[in-house]
Amino acid sequence: MTQEGTSPAGPDQPLEIAWIGTGVMGASMASHLLAAGHRLRVSTRTRSRAQALLDRGARWCSTPADAAEGADLAISIVGLPEDVEAVHLGPRGTLAAQRPPRRIIDMTTSSPALAVRLAEVARARGVGSLDAPVSGGDVGARQATLSIMVGGERIDFDAVKPVLARMGRTIVLQGPAGRGQHAKMVNQILIAGTMMGLCEGLRYAERAGLDAATVLESVSVGAAGSWSLQNLAPRILRGDFAPGFRIDHFLKDLRIALEEANRLGLDLPALALARRLYEVALAQGLGDRGTHGLHLTLGATGGSSSVPEP
């Protein structure tokens, strides 16, 4: 059971929110909550990355436990499953607070099994827990148009949906704890296949002597159209490989997806190929580039990448 049932405040009332993680997406997402009038307590590994939020009135806390002390919500969006574990289950994590938050929401793309364990530990402390990974990249984070895939109990979902609505446009409860992460794995599998096709399509256009920007006018609105084609293909053509979502983090997601697929008895060869290609990109030093940096690995000028055999 979660603490005292439903929402700790109405949708128009300010909440005390602990926010952990101010990366490419997290900083923008937190800024929408500040704009909505919520009171933020921010904890990150590098204080300077939270400075813009602090300048707007957020309060700095040195640990997740300090930020979460007596808060209505504790929200995290960090890098890796081990970061999620430390932020919430570690000795200075949110659930180590003397007065833990009423609910925690982890918006990191992480392991479904970890989401289930986090929910179990939280429940033992009377705390509601939701896994709520997001899709939409840096653009969706800035524009508050993210798709948010949620796992957890309905009572907790209904209570926090007004807060999630400040950051996203499509907010769907997928089922019990861990199901939000499973839904995000579906999302990442789809993106992996799309990104390979996008990069190879642009390679073909270049080799065939086509003007890639002109080709995009036709294909981006046809049956091949996708978010990635509309938002990332133009960045590739500009030579802009700054991350909306980093290759090293995406590779982490693909590895989780393959682990889950193996556990479910699934053979997903396209996903396995995508993982190998992104491992090559990582080995080439492209880990801090956006996922569309795969174009560099596949050879923007027609070169070939060396893809290891499975």
Same domain, 171 and 108: yes
Q: What is the CATH number of the domain that holds 282?
A: 1.10.1040.10
Judge whether residue 119 has pLDDT over 70. Answer: yes
How far is 115 from 119, CA to CA, in rounded Å? 6
177, 200, 229 - which closes a domain: 177
**Cα 87 to chain center, whole Å?**
16
Same domain, 89 and 124: yes
**How large a percentage of the chain has pLDDT more than 70?**
93
Same domain, 44 and 109: yes
Same domain, 239 and 129: no
Residue 101 lies in a domain: yes
Pair of tokens at residue 168 = 């996203």
**Which residues contact residue 16 at a Cβ distance below 8 angstroms, ignoring those fewer than 6 apart?**
38, 39, 41, 70, 71, 72, 73
Same domain, 199 and 168: no
Residue 306 lies in a domain: no
Pair of tokens at residue 262 = 């193996």
Neighbours of 309 (CB within 10 A): 4
Residue 233 lies in a domain: yes
Task: Provide the pLDDT confidence category of residue 12 given band limits of 50, 70 and 90.
Answer: low
The pLDDT value given to residue 269: 97
Judge whether residue 306 has pLDDT over 60. Answer: no
Same domain, 154 and 201: no
Which alpha helices (DSSP H) does 24-152 contain, by range?
Answer: 26-35, 51-55, 64-68, 81-89, 112-124, 137-143
Neighbours of 156 (CB within 10 A): 26
Whether the pTM exceeds 0.85: the reply is yes
Q: What is the CATH number of the domain that holds 41?
A: 3.40.50.720
Pair of tokens at residue 28 = 């923008």
Contact 203, 300 (CB under 8 A): yes
Same domain, 219 and 238: yes
Which tens digits make up the pLDDT trace of 166-181?
Answer: 999 999 999 999 999 9
Look over the chain and give the mean of its residue pLDDT values, rounded to a whole number: 92
Same domain, 20 and 86: yes
143, 177, 211 - which closes a domain: 177
- DSSP H or E run through 193: helix 179-207
Same domain, 48 and 192: no
177, 199, 221 - which closes a domain: 177
Active site amino acids:
184
Judge whether residue 302 has pLDDT over 90. Answer: no
How far is 283 from 177, CA to CA, in rounded Å? 34
The total number of structural domains in the chain stands at 2
Which residues constitute the domain of residue 141? 16-177
Judge whether residue 5 has pLDDT over 50. Answer: no
How far is 269 from 274, CA to CA, in rounded Å? 9
Residue tagged 């036709």 (tokens): 218
The pLDDT value given to residue 299: 79
Question: Which of 127-146 are b and which e, b meaning 16 or more Cβ less than 10 Å from the residue's Cβ?
Answer: bbbbbbbbbbbbbbbbebeb
> Residue 80 carries which DSSP code?
S
Same domain, 243 and 186: yes
Query: How large is the average pLDDT for residues 53-68?
Result: 96
Contact 44, 19 (CB under 8 A): no
How far is 105 from 118, CA to CA, in rounded Å? 10
